Structure 1
Amino acid sequence: MDTAALREVVKQVIIRYAQLRPSHGNIRLDTVFDETQDRYALMQVGWDRRRRVRGNLIYVTLQDSKIYVEYDGMEHGITQDLIDGGIPESQIVLSFLPEASIAITA
C-alpha cells in the first residue's frame, strides 16, 4: 500500500476514535494530522473531577511505507482497525513494544 493510502487509513481510524466521548468529565478529543512530517495523533484535553486531563491517546508516524504505532492508549488498540482498513500486517510496526517483539505476527 502506498503512503497516500496509508495516510488516509490512519486518518480515518483516528477520526472514528475522535467521535467517541469519554464516559465522565469534560474532555475534548482533538485530531492532529501533520501530513508534511507524517505524524498523526489523537489528543485529549479537558477536566475530570477537578483534575486537568491532557495528553496523547494515539500517536502514529509514517516512514519508509510503514506505519509506526508509537503510542496506543485505546482500550482495544488500533492495530486491528488498521488491518481492517486494508493495511497489510507487514506494514505495521508496534514501536511501543520492546525491539524483539515489534513486528506484527499472525
Structure 2
Amino acid sequence: MDSLTTYREIVKQVISDYAKLRPSHGDIHLDTVFDERQDRYALMQVGWDRGHRVRGNLIYVTIDSGKVSIEYDGMECGIMQDLIDRGIPDRDIILAFLPESRPTAIV
C-alpha cells in the first residue's frame, strides 16, 4: 500500500474513533465527512444543547503532496499523537493552525 492510501486510512480511523465519543450533555451527534477525491476529512458536531443550536467542526484534516495537514483540531488532547501512533511520521504532519508550521513559499 502506498503512503497516500495508508495516510487516508489512518486519518479515517482516527476520526472514526473520535466519532464514537458522546458529548457529556445536550442532544448532539457527531458526523464523519470523508472526501477521498479531494482528500478532505472532518468530524462535525450537530444538535442542541440547553436550547441552543450546536454545529461546527471538531476536526478538519487535509492531505496534499504527501503531507497530512491538521487544519483544525478541537479535541482536548489533540489528534497529532493518534496519527503518529498509527503510523504517520511526524515529519509528514503539519499543524496548519499554527503559523510557524505552515510551509514557506519559495519565491
**For the superposition of Structure 1 and Structure 2, which TM-score range results when normalised by the shorter chain?**
over 0.9
Aligned-CA RMSD value: 1.0
In the aligned structure 2, how far is the partner of 1:7 from the partner of 1:16? 14
Shift of 1:72: 0.1
Extract unaligned runs of 5+ from structure 2. 103-107
Match of 1:8 in 2: 9
1:87-106 correspondence to structure 2 within 5 Å: 87-98=88-99, 100=100, 102=101
Letter in 1 for 2:77: H
Displaced runs of 4 or more, over 2 A: none
Across the two proteins, how many residue pairs are aligned to each other? 101
Percent of residue pairs identical: 67
In structure 2, C-alpha distance between the alignment counterparts of 1:8 and 1:54, rounded to whole Å: 26
Match of 1:38 in 2: 39
Work out the CA distance in 2 between the residues paired with 1:9 and 1:65: 13
Q: CA deviation at 1:64?
A: 0.3
Structure 1 runs not aligned, ≥5 long? none
Shift in Å, 1:91 = 0.4
